[in-house]
Structure 1
């Protein structure tokens, strides 16, 4: 039985674990967090990713957990409404269609629940070194004893440890897009009911929207920064200070949002960035999702890319040796990933010229043939 180590337990990693187990692989998932992560933004399952969810047997549950937004408003820095729509929302696109928006934590839990009995999860640990030869990959961990695996997959996000160990430093592959965003939860003190409120105040902007039966707000608060900022990806308090400093002069409800941020237990912060690589595989190691071809949240397609990539990789590994499978996976996924990365500029023009019109997403979301 082929053994596979997957680094990362958000969406891409557990999805691949589920699909590989179905094909008879022995799968271990290692995750730096001490337990499944709570929080995160609303994410989307679109186009071909809905087909993947259906083939995984989770589509009905995905739809059951969908958000139920009725529309959105866009405000200026003083809180004046610039425009509103009951046809679309910026986080999810056109309302009432087949595409599904749900919380990241809900999708992650749905997949985890289907894998926890026959996939080994190792929480609170991370890969330290990779040493591969013609027979396998010897892996050392920060905490656990060393082990050997036939294959290793990095599904560990924008700041992938596997990518750094197998391909080189992050700066060679990550392209900053000029923005940073924080995401956290707070009480729905605004009384929003299935309605998103977006705002823009110069270099600061974001959104608030209700979740969990309108009892809770998910806050997206971000700022522009043309140049990358040096900060510790593991120092949450330092990240909160950075957000507070950069957003200190913003108006509307931002002071109250910042106050709630300090007590948020599920705070997340990162740059808007993309990953561009000449190749996604090196020997017995390959990359999946954001680790190899992050399109950034600005594309709206990160989760769909993760699910589709997991499906394609598992299908190719099920029918070929790893060298052939990795090549076929990349050949099939690379054009689709490139199309989704190009959505950043198209989405920007769409927002400037006709934000309530047909989205560029509709052209891209099905632009791949699944095995």
Structure 2
């Protein structure tokens, strides 16, 4: 329960104090107090309100103790804490959560700082848990989080929901950050990386929260749809030995049908909402939905997927998007055209999947020697045992 309430309580305290660090400390103290008090007195009728009030009192105590050193800086916050009404209405709490989300995902922060801060603040992970999840030493992560908080203060980043003019672009930044978080977990390098996989689940939770807080937004529906559709395949992506199972070879009976169905419905909604001005995440969701609705790999409508990639390439002509389009083109039987498209790409020389894809295309064309060279290069570019075994399976004798 405390974990579920933490984000909302922290959001309210950050609004009241205007200081994310102070709010985090106060909420932590309130959580400890709840663990000590509730077993004796019982859970209060409104646990969230209890935590907010208790955390507010803790923040007031801190401000009073530091008053002589930070009088001018803390006077306004102290007054706000004293005078703020106990308003726990749905509208106020909703706006508090949105303010916190947009603050953690502010474009003034580096992408890695946005992801780390989102895990720490929005998901409630400890510094040690964030460090383990992102494969960074704990001391390094602590410094990264401190710098992010300092950046928020020094840059004067306002704790608010963007206005109507800025909201669409800011929603895209938030969506990108949440998807980066999802990718950190979804793209974990082994089937047993449970802690990494939990990141994907946290990202899905944040995606659901965003759709709930800002309903009817194509970019957010597309984000959630994409994550649900990809996450629905989580149990089929690796075999019992931890080896990668490619999409065409996956046992679709192991896909999560409920997640896939929800994802397809959200993808359709996102596409309808952005019909006149396509949103990137809506298009990505449409591509994932094409896979989800195919009963077998052979039933996949690859021509539709290529068409969606054409739309996506107009929105985001990045080398990775063009590489994925080339792979889809090959599935339509246009292997030579796909290889030409791959060979025309720039900026992916050190990207494992470029060379792995090129090796597969060459193999299909019967150019075994060239395929082996490309596969060997791909193998040198990864330290993932699962990716290395995938290459060895596709290219025996590597």
Structure number having the greater strand percentage: 1
With the shorter chain as reference, the TM-score category is: under 0.3
TM-score (norm: length of structure 2)? 0.21
- Larger proportion of helix: 2
TM-score normalised to structure 1 length: 0.22
Structure possessing the higher radius of gyration over alpha carbons? 2
Q: Which has the higher contact order (CA 8 A, sep 6+)?
A: 1
